[in-house]
Amino acid sequence: MFNLSIVTPEKIFYEGEISSLIAPGIEGYLGILSNHAPLITAIVPGKVTLTDKNQTEIEMAVAHGFLEVSHNHATLLTDSAETLSEIDISRAKNAYERAISRLREAGDVDILRARMALERAKNRLYLAGKEPKE
């Protein structure tokens, strides 16, 4: 067992003792167990799966951020996190359409922001089982 804190700008999203963590790193998904070697890595939009101390699996969508593992404690700092049941499909679809529109009209300054918004929206729709139109 080890401790996990998932923190967004708005709140501490999750804090507790877990037995495993799977998170979307920049080079693929990472599996973390207790006594993991120290690690700091960027996180990309994707699905986080954790198994709590009662062996209950919890899945959530996360946005960009960072994961640090040290001394049997993992901290995931992310722009946003929500359990799959909390995903508002209508809101995610609207965000997806807005991001596509911004990318078509974006100047150089706005392109990164629009791409990040698109990645977040696509991830939320995918994890909610509502694959976005391409």
pLDDT tens profile 42-55: 999 999 999 999 99
**Is there a contact between 32 and 26 (Cβ–Cβ < 8 Å)?**
no
Of 9-18, 32-41, 103-112, 116-125, minimum mean pLDDT range? 103-112
The residues spanned by each domain of the chain are: 2-84, 88-127
User: In the prediction, which pLDDT does 133 show?
Assistant: 46
Pairing of strands 73-78, 2-7: parallel
User: In the prediction, which pLDDT does 53 show?
Assistant: 92
Which listed CATH number (3.40.1350, 1.20.120, 1.10.260, 1.20.5) goes with 88-127? 1.20.5
Any idea how long the chain is? 134
Sign of CA dihedral 134, 114, 7, 26: positive
Read off the pTM.
0.79
Rounded mean pLDDT of 73-89? 92
Which listed CATH number (2.10.109.10, 3.40.50.1700, 3.40.1160.10, 2.60.15.10) goes with 2-84? 2.60.15.10
